Chains A and B, each alone.
Chain A
Amino acid sequence: MKCCIKIGPERFHADQIKFFIMISPFAAVMLLPIIYVVFHAFKPVDELFAFPPRFITLRPSLENFTRLLHTANSSNYPAALYIFNSILSTLLTVVATLLISASAGYVLSKKEFKGKRLIMNMNQAALMFVPVAVAVPRYMIIKGLGLMDSFLSHIFPLLAMPVGLFLVKQFIDQVPSSLLEAARIDGCSDYGVLFRIVMPIIKPALATVAILSFQSAWNSVEASQMFIENEKLKTFAYYMTTVTSPSGSSVAGQGMAAAAVLIMVVPNIILFIIMQSRVMNTVAHSGIK
């Protein structure tokens, strides 16, 4: 009772020790595999072959990375090409998703019109949408649109992002309508209101959507596996499946695979670390009522 309610405390107190003890096994299980990948990625060949396997890297080297970037896979393209494709498709996906979600979120939050409820309900239902469940019809639609073997097939399927729209809309709900009214009276069109007033205010929500969209685009193998035959257009996440699966059991392959995992994961983690306070600010409004 009395003082003991200390959620989100200001400073450390001996009472908190039990919580640190509770969390430490979980934190260790979460972190150790990731630390292990970091060590593994920097191991030179002789340490990869060391028996018994050692957790720590004694003489870190960039061998695995250079081998990964220079080794061509079966189709003779170097990893650098796949990395470039990944960066380009991810960048385009994130930018387009932000624009699409922000404009739709603004309309759904601040405008009244026929059909609005229906759209909001559909989006809410689509929060639980599982893209892999409809892989077959998505394949047929891509084919029907003539997007087979096109770079756009990396991007288009990811652009409508129900969670993104949902978070942006919830966030815009917090923006006072009077502020937008004032701008309208000053002669701003809806587009002006959106780009000059709403977008700057909802930066935290946009940062969050950017992270989620980055994650799904950067990790996506759907298009490379199913929609694109031309090796030149495939992405790094796909390339990883070719490095890791056939040679997965070979020890030298494991070093390269670990380096590849790092390339996949580090951008995600850095982005999240940079934006984490904005993300927390956004998800605080994420409740479904």
Chain B
Amino acid sequence: MPHACHLCHIELEHVSVSRGGQELLHDVSMHIHCGQLTVLIGQNGAGKTTLVRALLGELKSSGSIRHVNEHGREVPHLVTGYVPQHLEFDREMPVTVADFMAAAFSRRPVWTGVGRKTREEIRQALSEVEAADLVDRPLGRCSGGEIQRVLLALSMHPAPDLLVMDEPVSGMDVNGLQLFLDTVMSLRKTHHMAILLVSHDLQLVREYADHVVLLDKTVLCQGQPDYVFESPEFHRVFGGGEAV
């Protein structure tokens, strides 16, 4: 069981997910703290994306997922920001970054144009992730790293209590990766939100994570990076963790 604490957090208690008679997640209990980067690691098929989908409400789960404030009281509404792994879309589609973000920010149909106020909001959101110059670029002409920054900017509006990122850095070059993670870490500080990151890059996890959760259908081990990386469970799953 995770230890009790006095900070706001997202609390998962005995969360299980079944689909088609098969249990995909079993009895997962963990806390995702505000102002911390919690990283979910595990082999392919360990249930990481299933847990993300349960947190987003896309998959039905048993147990409880609660947002608890610093006084230990439940906050009824959890605002979740989501950065998907990658966007698989038609790159020839005539849709600019501003169109894409305005579709989420505003009720005005994007095919009638993007209003001045919405455009200003979009520009501000993009400058927070150092991507203001992308505003008029067609979405299909952005690189993988640029799209992830656009998605990060989008996920920050409205300001989320919990930011969920499912392998957002796969396929990014080293510079893009560094810029993306530095931006995430600075947003973590300024917005004091809880961040859950799914990652395969163990080197990265050790460098950036505040809390690591090792998953294999259930939580095998969790704690500070060094504690998890030196645990027998980690060595069993990753065979000594030679990647680190």
- A and B interact: no
